[in-house]
């Protein structure tokens, strides 16, 4: 499909670790990445709503979170979560249903009609700016410290963090038996992901929500079957890594929740 030198997938496995965010420290890192990306960098959410520097909302209490960590520095590089469409037997809104339901094309959406216990939404997709800057660009909050001992091969893995996160969302959906994954994304992201074998179907009209976005969906069962050997190896590595993570904690084990922090925010923007 692509030359291996173009997409150094093995190097991603060498330089990064992917896992469920289970411990208090992991969840705190997840919320801090989101604060830096959603509040400080892009202004999707007002920083003053989160005085402790952690961006979270009501969906986090029932979501499962995935975290990618840079092995060399120990820095959290990116995160994503999946939000279930049902909790037990109870109906549960997904983020896009709460904020952008009017943009959904019912005809296209009907293709993915399934029991809600088989649905989820991938959201709060974020890659820290440190891992989106190239050598010579503006300094990060760490100055040039991160760049001191990075090889060219290590830098080339940075664009693959986004791919790893989306694979992580698909793995979580598969392992929780929720293969129909929705996402609210900027148009460029589905195009980028398609280059790596991740083909979302658009099921919504453009909506101006933190910029122009649309609702997309993917059947992860079909997606996994369509992966070529190279990307299937990456998927299997992520699946193994996530499977080895501890089981999902109870809600009360979260380091911080909307209910006890008064920090619930409206807003959803994957890209």
pLDDT tens digit sequence for 105-156 = 887 888 778 899 999 999 999 999 988 865 444 445 544 445 556 778 888 8
> pLDDT by residue (tens digit) across 74-114?
999 999 999 999 988 889 999 999 998 888 888 788 877 88
- pLDDT tens, residue by residue, 181-224: 999 998 888 888 888 778 899 998 998 888 889 999 999 998 89
User: Of 157, 196, 197, which Cα lies nearest the Cα of 69?
Assistant: 157
pLDDT value at residue 268: 37
Phi, psi of 161 (to 5 degrees): -60, -40
Check residue 191 and give its pLDDT. 86
**Which pTM value belongs to this model?**
0.83
Are 244 and 17 within 8 A, CB to CB?
no
Q: Within 10 A of 269 (CB to CB), how many other CB atoms are there?
A: 23
Q: Of 82 and 248, which is predicted with more confidence?
A: 82
Contact 120, 94 (CB under 8 A): yes
Any idea which architecture 9-135+149-249 has in CATH? 3-Layer(aba) Sandwich (3.40)
Asked if 172 and 82 touch (Cβ cutoff 8 Å), the reply is yes
From CA 262, how far away is CA 8, in angstroms rounded? 43
Model confidence at 56: pLDDT above 90 = yes
> What confidence score (pLDDT) does residue 166 get?
92
pLDDT (average), residues 26-32: 96
The residue with greater pLDDT, 211 or 258, is 211
Distances in Å between the alpha carbon of 79 and those of 61, 72, 101, 194? 16, 18, 24, 20
Question: Is the per-residue pLDDT at 65 higher than 80?
Answer: yes
């Amino acid at each position: 499909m692509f030359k291996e030198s173009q997409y150094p997938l093995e190097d991603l496995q060498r330089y990064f670790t992917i896992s469920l965010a289970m411990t208090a420290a992991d969840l705190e890192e997840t919320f801090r990445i989101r604060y830096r990306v959603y509040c400080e960098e892009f202004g999707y959410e007002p920083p003053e709503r989160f005085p402790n520097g952690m961006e979270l909302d009501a969906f986090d209490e029932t979501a499962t979170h995935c975290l990618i960590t840079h092995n060399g520095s120990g820095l959290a590089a990116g995160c994503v979560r999946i939000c279930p469409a049902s909790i037990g037997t109870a109906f549960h809104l997904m983020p896009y249903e709460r904020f952008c339901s009017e943009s959904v094309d019912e005809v296209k959406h009907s293709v993915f009609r399934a029991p809600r216990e088989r649905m989820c939404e991938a959201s709060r997709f974020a890659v820290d700016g440190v891992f989106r800057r190239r050598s010579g660009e503006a300094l990060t909050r760490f100055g040039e410290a991160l760049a001191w001992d990075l090889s060219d091969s290590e830098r080339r893995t940075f664009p693959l963090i986004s791919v790893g996160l989306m694979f992580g969302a698909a793995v979580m959906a598969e392992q929780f038996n929720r293969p129909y994954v929705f996402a609210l994304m900027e148009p460029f992201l589905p195009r980028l992901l398609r280059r790596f074998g991740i083909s979302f179907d658009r099921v919504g009209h453009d909506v101006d929500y933190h910029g122009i976005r649309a609702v997309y969906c993917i059947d992860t069962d079909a997606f996994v079957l369509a992966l070529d050997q190279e990307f299937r190896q990456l998927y299997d590595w992520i699946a193994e890594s996530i499977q080895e993570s501890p089981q999902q904690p109870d809600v009360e084990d979260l380091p911080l929740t909307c209910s006890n922090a008064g920090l619930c925010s409206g807003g959803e923007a994957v890209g």
